[in-house]
Structure formats: C-alpha cells, structure tokens
Chain A
Amino acid sequence: MITDHHVSKKIFMFNIGFLTLVKREIWRFMSLYKQTLLPSLISSGLYIMVFGQSLGSRIGTIKESSYIDYIIPGLAMMAVINHSFQNSSSSMMQSKFLRFIEDILVTPLSGLELSTGYIVGGLVRGVLNGILVLALGWLLTGFTISSWWLTLLYLIVVSWGFSAIGVIVGIFAESWDHIAVFTNFIFMPLIFLGGVFYSIDMLPPFWRGISQFNPLYWMINGMRYATLGIYDTSPLLSLLISVAIAVIFTITASFMFSKGYKIKT
C-alpha cells in the first residue's frame, strides 16, 4: 500500500537527500586524503621553500610585503582551484564510468539538488586545501591574515565556482584525458599567469593588459587583498567576478542535470 509516508516528507528542496549526497562526496575525498588533502601541503611547502626562502630574499618586497608572504595567498588559491575542480570532475566522471550515477538519478533529488550536492563536495575539499596551505604558510613563515572573514569568503566563492566548472567538465568528459586537458592546458597556465608568483605591475604593459582577461588574476588579487591587505586592482571587482563565475557555472551545471544532458538518454 502507498502511504503518505512514502511521498509527503520527501518533496522538499535541499532536505536529507541533498545532505546525504553532500556527505557522500565529503566521505569520498576524506577516505582518499593522501590524494585529496596532503599533496597541497607538500607542493605548497616546496613552493614556499624554493621560491620564497631561496629566491625571495633576492626579489625583496612587493607592495611592502615580503616575497614569501606575497606568494602564499596565490598558492592557497592554486590549491583551492585545483582541488575543487578535481573533486567534482573526477567524482562525476567516476560515477558515470562505473554507472553508479544511476542510483542517484533515480532518487527524488532535483537537478539543482544533484548538481549542488556535487558542487558542495568539491567546495569543501577546495576550502580545506586552501586553509591547509594558509596554515602551512603561517607555520613556515609566520604569515598572518588581515581579514579572516574575507579570506573565508574568497575560499568559498572561488572553490564554489571551480567545483561547478568541475561538474560541467565531468558531465562532458568521456575519458580521464578530457579532465587532464583542463587541468594541464587551461588551469595551470591561467594560474601561473594570474600572478601567483609576481605582481602584475612587474609585467610589460602588453602582458599586463592581457592579464586583465584572466579570471584567475582577479581571484588571486582578491585573495591577496583578503589575506595581506594589498592589491593590484579593485578588490570589489575581484569579488564580483568570483561570485559571477560561481553563479553562472552553478546555473549551467544545474540546467545540465535537470535536462539530463549527457547523463540521461
């Protein structure tokens, strides 16, 4: 017999079903912490030692900040972008590849709830990685943060945006190669050209102009403002661009899930 129990409490948005998907996504990456959390610490530690400690003393200060402090927000952003994207794209790809996405698609969760569930999983991994890098910076260099709230906001917003991009790429991807193309040929150059290791003011005018079109430049700029209180360009515009990216790609991912694009036949 069908009873009210079966339908009544299960129709609301963002209920237990959504939270279960978020929990699943967090469990997944926490069970793989050696791949999902520790690498950021190692690579950022190496960047701080090699670029900061050894080369930093020759570069001196940038905008009254020591070079080693200057690069830490960028390193945190690099970790956030890589890990939030990796989490949702690989989770999507895996669930498609092993077909267990069907177990989730047949549930009463809406396209918005499903996409947001995957996005929040990537967001949490991105934020955790960002916090770990900042904590490592503090441990190794005594780096301090100017605004905790703004820093957390940036970690969340940027992580959200790249996790949403990861969901979309994961939906499109037909092999692991497609995901690697994004990481290696798009994000990596954009991160390095976005001013992780230098101020945009150090570039020739032509490249400075080109950098304005790199969204990661704005994110790194905003993060540097939140942590060190220094900036190359408008911090407000940086925040608006980061939020816009998060919103646009979340809507796109949700639309794709709702329509079943590439995940339903």
Chain B
Amino acid sequence: MVNAISITDLKKKYGSFEALKGINLDIPEGSFFGLLGPNGAGKTTTIGILTGLVNITSGSARIMGYDVVKEYKKSRAIVGISPQELNFDPFFTLDDLLTLQGGYYGMKPKEARAKAMELLKQFGLESKSKVKMRQLSGGMKRRVQIAKAMVHDPPILILDEPTAGVDIELRHLMWEYLAKINKEGKTILLTTHYIEEAENLCDHVAIIDQGRIITEGTPKALIRDVGESMICIRVNDWPEKMELPQWQYTVVDNQLHIQTSDPDTDIGHILSILAKENVAVLEVKLKKSNLEEVFIKLTGKRIDES
C-alpha cells in the first residue's frame, strides 16, 4: 500500500544553517498524524517542501507516490494546506475567495462556488459570505484558512498550527470537526504547539527537534515507552517482608511509589496482590505520564520553548 506521505532523507539548508538534517517519515493513508516540535524545529519547512513553498536541498518527498518536485502537478492536486501564518487577499469576499481557490485547482466556477458555500456553512460562516477577510475575528480567519485548504476536496490535509490563536470553545469544535473528517477518510498531517491537541486527535505522532525526527509512534506507545507514570498507594501498614518483584518501587512511611509504563492495567494487579496479603489500602493516586513529559524527556525542553 502506498503511503499518503513519504519522506526520505530530506535535507534543507538555508545558507550554512541546516533546517532539516535528513528526515524520514511515512504517513499511512487515512491516518491523523501529528508533527510535534518547538519553534524552529523544522515542522513548517517540512510542510513547505510537501506543498511547494520551500525548495528541497536533497532527499525526496512523495504524496500518494507522486514526487513533490517532479510530479508536483499531481501531488499538489491532492493536498490542501492551511498555513500557520494567516494570510488574506484583501480584494475579495469570502465566497469569492473560496471560489477562486477552488478554481486554481481546476474546479469549474459553479462547482467551486457550491463547495465554497457548503464549507462556509460547515464552518459557521454562512452569514459572512459577503464579508472580506479583514473584517473577521482571528478565530473566523483561521476557519476560512482551513476552508480554503478544503475547497478542492483534497484527500490529504496539512494543517500547520490550525488552532493557534483560537479560543478554547472553538478549538474543541474544530477538534470534533477534524476527527470527523479523518474518520470519513481524510489523511491529516497536523503540526501543533498544543500537546493536548495531538494526544486527543492523532493516532500517530513524530517529535521533531533541530531538524531531526527524534521518535515516532502512537501517543500511547510513546507514553508507555518513554513516559514515567506512577501509582501512589497509601497503606495502613506495609509488611516488612512484602515485595512487588514486577515493579520498581519505593516505600516511605507506608507510602508506596510504583513506577509503571501502563498504570491502567497495573493498578488492578497491584491492588489484588495487596488484597491477597491483607494490606489495607487507604488511598490510591495515579500520576499518568503524557506526551508533554515524553517531549520534555526527549528534547530537554518544553514544546513552547524555542
């Protein structure tokens, strides 16, 4: 099966600065893939190369098997991009703007206008169809940006920080919408600063830092393999000879701290062992690791640090 996006040893240099140092990435068709990284990690450069905004120094990138340089007409026809930086054409109203965008991709005017109106309705912007972009709020502009990426109905969507500057309520609505269109079959490549966004939406994530992919996998697997979850149990009286050989743990003042990669599964086992040994449990706390911790552990910094 051909991958929706396939990147091989991709390098990009700006003068002597190496923005991408040989990236390899395969994104299967139908997946919701998150590319996580701090500012300047190479996310936007990677996306720029996939969509034709950035020239390649070496290596290759393919979209549904089409080389983004040699077969750019085919590769670009099946991708929609919502860039991180908001841009707007000041001359046209939203319906005209989206109709033109569809036209650039070869849609007939009538077909493009119908799709434009459908998207404006879906994004709650129907009443603004005759308004120009500059008159919209930040959240509305962001929605138009995503609508522009979708007007030619591309099977692959690339969203660069799609919820940046969007309030929490709208962000959750957008997450719902993106999850829905992914379920309907669209492959989505998402870059985000919001780890929660990646955890909630993505079935696969890759962490990129200083032009290199550091790790990739499902969020669950990364948390399990890299993260450090903890089960904390306060007991009435910890028997001196009692041992839990399967886990690493410490006991201080009847407080048990157990390291685990899978707290949801392990908690049941541990509690049943304690019950067997007649150890009375007074309090149980789970400290679950998350992608943010994984990110910090692998990169040595928080995602919002540049």
Interface residues of A (CB under 8 A from B): 1-3, 6-7, 9-11, 15-17, 19-21, 23-24, 27-28, 31-32, 94-95, 98-100, 102-110, 259-260, 264-265
Contact = CB atoms under 8 A, between A and B. Distances in A.
B92 interface: yes
A2 B78 contact: yes
Interface string B35-53: 0000000000100100111
A9 B106 contact: yes
A105 B77 CA distance: 12
B59 interface: no
Contact of B76 (A1, A9, A23, A108): A108
Interface string B178-214: 0000000100000000000000000000000000000
A110 B107 CA distance: 16
Interface residues of B, number: 41
A97 B97 CA distance: 18
A104 B89 CA distance: 11
Given A1-B29, A102-B53, 12 more contacts: A6-B78, A7-B74, A7-B78, A17-B106, A20-B104, A98-B87, A98-B88, A103-B87, A104-B104, A106-B81, A107-B76, A108-B105
A185 B90 CA distance: 29
B217 interface: no
Contacts of B72: 108
A21 B185 CA distance: 30
Contact of B77 (A21, A28, A99, A108): A108
Nearest to B2: A2
A98 B85 CA distance: 10
Contact of A6 (B29, B88, B154): B154
Contact of B101 (A23, A103, A259): A103
Contacts of B92: 24, 27
Nearest to B186: A1
Residue from B76, B83, B96 with most neighbouring chain A CB atoms (10 Å): B76
Interface string B1-25: 0000000000000100000000000
Contacts of B153: 6
A21 B104 contact: yes
Contacts of B81: 106
B54 interface: yes
Given A6-B77, A106-B51, A108-B73, A100 B106 contact: no
